């Protein structure tokens, strides 16, 4: 095995292929690419491809370039280009060299189309869409040749030039490869190479009136850039035949060390959709707040929700690379972010659904400063100030008039509980509003229980969190859940009807005063509640998005 082949990484079929190609001398170094189409925001499925392509280049001391396969101006936008660049960098990767665009090669694509015509391997076809489908045949029945298939080279060159000059209308004709209308692979039955589009391109403006098809441009772009291993998902497996055919029939690329395509299984994640088309529908129909809605699997949405780049890279590592399509359990993604945040997230307290507590035996107008660890397992992170006074806020779920069972370890009438990092209190009575909702709990505290157990041997098992009232900061909490009610909503034709009505619940409560100047996207563990981050779209408002619960309690 060559010196630049890593041995510390888990071996999968792609690494085996890279090792073999280096050992045989087919390639002296490895070059991959990440080639998104700028027609939407990246989602976590793209993260799998990003980590694979950039990760292999890093491990094998090779190169990975970022290329936008921008051959369809009708669906592409400069906004998507910028978002993709930001997502790749946020994930922790840097492309080699300048950013590439397929549109950089439009003139070369046109020249290669002329080469195929001159070799009698391409022709201009005037069949309409319905006729083309009829001529293509079915999986069980061979297609039949287009009546334009035998047009002369000279006439085809003239027709292609007229297409380029905009002398035909959209849909009137296309340039097709001349391959085999009886091929068992539908993509090889004289596929289209060029079509007419009178659309302004985000890179080339109105310079072109014809645009190459993705399958034609993609393989040639790989070859121009010196890509050695073109990695894509399994739905392109049959297209590999067309990928190879195009490069084999162009004189400049028909070499043993030309790019070769290898397919791996795409990422399918439970309770969401991974299709750009479906994600775009959710955005355009305003069923979510935008491409960066924290309920979406987009990288910008996950980032806004509080997922870290490290947790997503770890998630990709956990699920691995294979050729088996499967549905990935959401728990694997959530476990990855829990494991990361448990180590790095400072601790704080937030009361999400507050009720007031009055400590009747505590002096009025007195506020006591206490200390709590920023991270209980990492003393190096230091301490933070918390406060205690006569008036506090606790979570409504942490009080019951009568403890429902012996396992209830929260506050109840004549039942003691410890306030986290503070004193033991005992509830004595409570007030309700006109609807019977508890608004205020009255309690007493034991002044001898700060940092120690009661001296008379009383056992206090429960611990609840709190925020002192006079210094508390008002905050909005956005509690996120699965976006859909079914594991695989994408299989349903009306997937938008399967949205979970409780995928977002908004509450208003209080946080510690030290949270005033928190940085957007900075992760915190709200003790006993979960991991949260400050929303990166809010200005001065304290809005916290729930990333994930402390443990997997979803059913």
Q: Is pLDDT of 8 > 70?
A: no
Asked whether residue 481 falls in the same domain as residue 506, the answer is yes
**pLDDT tens track for 218-253:** 999 999 999 999 999 999 999 999 999 999 999 999
* pLDDT score at 554: 57
Mean pLDDT of 336-365: 97
- Based on the domain organization, do 458 and 398 belong to the same domain? yes
348 vs 406, residue with greater confidence: 348
270 assigned to some structural domain:
no
Closest CA to 196 of 175, 220, 226, 214: 175
Q: What is the pLDDT of residue 461?
A: 86
Residue 377 lies in a domain: no
Indicate whether 458 and 515 sit together in one domain.
Answer: no
Q: Which secondary-structure segment (H or E) carries 130? A: helix 129-136
**CA-atom Rg of the chain in angstroms:** 31
Residue ending a domain, choose from 196, 230, 264: 264
Residues 50 and 154 in one domain: yes
Residue 266 is among the residues annotated as catalytic for this protein = yes
136 is catalytic: no
Would 438 be classed as within a structural domain? yes
Model confidence at 460: pLDDT above 80: yes
Domain edge (last residue) among 441, 465, 489:
465
Q: Are residues 33 and 163 in the same domain?
A: yes
For residue 36, is it within any domain? yes
Domain-located, residue 471: no
Residue whose token pair is 């402390």: 550
Which range marks the domain in which residue 210 is found? 13-264
What is residue 374's three-state secondary structure? coil
Whether 109 and 83 map to the same domain: the answer is: yes
DSSP 247-298: HHTSTTT-STTS-EEEEEPPPEETTS---HHHHHHHHHTTSSSSTT-TTS-B
Write the CB contacts of 343 (distance below 8 Å, at least 6 apart in sequence): 378
Closest CA relative to residue 312, chosen from 303, 323, 321, 304: 303
Evaluate if pTM is beyond 0.75: yes
HSE-CB for 94 with a 13 A CA cutoff: 1
Is residue 360 included in any domain, yes or no? yes
Percentage of the chain modeled with pLDDT above 90: 92
pLDDT score, position 366? 96
Question: 44, 487, 491, 479: which is closest to 271 by C-alpha?
Answer: 487
Q: Which domain CATH number covers 394? A: 2.40.240.10
Q: What is the 3-state secondary structure (H, E, C) of 147-178?
A: CCCCCCHHHHHHHHHHHHCCCCCCCCCEEEEC
State whether 292 and 217 are in the same domain: no
Residue 307 and residue 232 in one domain: no
Question: Residues 336, 338, 344, 348: what is their CA dihedral angle, to the nearest 10 degrees?
Answer: 160
List C-alpha distances in Å: 242 to 108, 121, 134, 228, 238.
19, 13, 21, 17, 8
What is the rounded distance in angstroms from the CA atom of residue 116 to the CA atom of residue 99?
28
Confidence of residue 292 (pLDDT cuts 50, 70, 90): very high
As for how many domains the chain has, the answer is: 3
Task: Note if 471 is an active site residue.
Answer: no
Residue 555 has pLDDT above 60, yes or no: no
Exactly one of 189, 258, 276, 546 is catalytic; name it. 276
pLDDT attached to residue 9:
65
At residue 457, does pLDDT exceed 80?
Answer: no
Q: Which of 85, 149, 164, 266 is catalytic?
A: 266
Q: Are residues 95 and 218 in the same domain?
A: yes
Burial of 403 (0-12, 13-18, 19+ CB in 10 A): middle
Confidence bin at 91 (pLDDT 50/70/90): very high
pLDDT of residue 1: 45
- The helix-helix angle for 330-344 and 309-319 (nearest 10°) equals 140
Separation between Cα atoms, residue 290 and residue 283, nearest integer Å:
5
Query: Any idea what the CATH number is for the domain that residue 186 is in?
Result: 3.40.50.620
Examine the fold and report which residue of 465, 487, 512 is the final residue of a domain before the chain moves on.
465
192-201 confidence digits (pLDDT tens): 999 999 999 9
Residues 153-180 have pLDDT tens digits of 999 999 999 999 999 999 999 999 999 9
Q: Do 388 and 432 lie in a common domain?
A: yes
- Structural domain contains residue 8: no
Tell which residue, 291, 346, 338, 299, has the closest CA to residue 318: 338
Locus of tokens 């340039």: 175
The label of the residue with tokens 């949205």 reads: 499
- Supply the CATH number for residue 525's domain: 1.10.1160.10
Q: 4 falls in which pLDDT band (50, 70, 90)?
A: low
Residues 297 and 358 in one domain: no
pLDDT score of 489 more than 50: yes
Q: Taking residues 119-146, what's their average pLDDT?
A: 96
Q: Report pLDDT digits (tens) over 518-542.
A: 999 999 999 999 999 999 997 788 9
pLDDT at 552 > cutoff 80 = no
The answer to whether residue 139 is domain-embedded is: yes
Model confidence at 41: pLDDT above 80: yes
pLDDT at 3: 53
Q: How many helices (H) and strands (E) does the chain have?
A: 12, 29
Q: Within 13 Å, how many C-alpha atoms sit on residue 25's CB side?
A: 0
How far is residue 50's CA from residue 231's CA, in Å, rounded to a whole number?
A: 10
Tokens of 329: 């359990």
Query: Do 138 and 211 belong to one domain?
Result: yes
| Contact present, 374 and 346 (Cβ < 8 Å) | yes
- pLDDT value at position 539? 76
Of 15, 37, 338, 468, which residue is the catalytic one? 37
- Tell whether the model's pLDDT for residue 83 goes beyond 90: yes
Average pLDDT, the chain: 95
pLDDT value at residue 7: 45
């Amino acid at each position: 095995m060559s010196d630049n082949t890593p041995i510390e990484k888990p071996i999968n079929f792609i690494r085996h292929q890279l090792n073999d190609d280096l050992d045989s001398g087919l390639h002296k170094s490895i070059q991959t690419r990440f080639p998104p189409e700028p027609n939407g925001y990246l989602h976590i499925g793209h993260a799998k491809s990003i980590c694979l392509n950039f990760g292999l280049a890093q491990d094998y001391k090779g190169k990975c370039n970022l290329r936008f396969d921008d051959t369809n101006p009708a669906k592409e936008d400069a906004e998507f280009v910028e978002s993709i660049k930001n997502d790749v960098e946020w994930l922790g990767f840097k492309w080699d060299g300048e950013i590439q665009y397929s549109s950089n090669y439009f003139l070369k694509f046109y020249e290669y189309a002329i080469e195929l015509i001159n070799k009698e391997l391409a022709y201009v076809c005037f069949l309409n869409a319905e006729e083309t489908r009829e001529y293509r045949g079915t999986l069980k029945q061979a297609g039949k040749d287009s009546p334009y298939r035998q047009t002369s080279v000279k006439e085809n060159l003239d027709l292609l030039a007229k297409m380029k000059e905009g002398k035909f209308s959209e849909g009137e004709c296309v340039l097709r490869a001349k391959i085999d209308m009886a091929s068992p692979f539908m993509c090889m039955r004289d596929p289209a190479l060029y079509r007419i589009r009178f659309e302004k391109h985000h890179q080339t403006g109105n310079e072109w009136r014809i645009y190459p098809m993705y399958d034609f441009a993609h393989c040639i772009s790989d070859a121009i850039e010196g890509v050695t291993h073109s990695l894509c998902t399994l739905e392109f497996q049959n297209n590999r035949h067309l990928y190879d055919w195009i490069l084999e029939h162009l004189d400049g690329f028909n070499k043993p060390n030309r790019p070769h395509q290898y397919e791996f299984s795409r990422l399918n994640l439970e309770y969401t959709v991974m299709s750009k088309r479906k994600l775009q529908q959710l955005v355009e129909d305003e069923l979510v707040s935008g491409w960066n809605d924290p309920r979406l699997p987009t990288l910008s949405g996950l980032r806004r929700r509080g997922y870290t780049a490290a947790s997503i890279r770890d998630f990709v590592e956990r699920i691995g690379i294979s050729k088996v399509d499967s549905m990935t359990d959401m728990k694997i993604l959530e476990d990855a972010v829990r494991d990361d945040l448990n180590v790095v997230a400072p601790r704080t307290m937030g009361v999400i659904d507050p009720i007031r507590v009055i400590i009747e035996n505590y002096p009025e107008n007195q506020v006591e400063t206490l200390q709590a660890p920023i991270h209980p397992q990492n003393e190096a992170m230091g301490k933070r100030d918390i406060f205690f006074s006569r008036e506090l806020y606790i979570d409504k779920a942490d009080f019951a008039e009568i403890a429902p069972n012996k396992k209830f370890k929260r506050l109840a009438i004549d039942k003691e509980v410890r306030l986290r990092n503070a004193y033991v209190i005992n509830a004595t009575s409570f007030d309700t509003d006109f609807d019977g909702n508890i608004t205020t709990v009255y309690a007493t505290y034991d002044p001898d229980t700060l940092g120690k157990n009661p001296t008379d041997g009383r056992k206090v098992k429960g611990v609840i969190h709190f925020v002192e009232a006079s210094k508390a900061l008002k905050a909005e909490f956005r509690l996120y859940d699965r976006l859909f009610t079914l594991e695989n909503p994408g299989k349903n034709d009306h997937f938008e009807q399967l949205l979970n009505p409780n995928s977002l619940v908004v509450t208003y409560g209080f946080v510690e005063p030290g949270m005033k100047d928190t940085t957007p996207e900075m992760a915190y563990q709200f003790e006993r509640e979960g991991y949260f981050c400050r929303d990166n779209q809010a200005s001065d408002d304290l809005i916290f998005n729930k990333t994930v619960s402390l443990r997997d309690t979803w059913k």
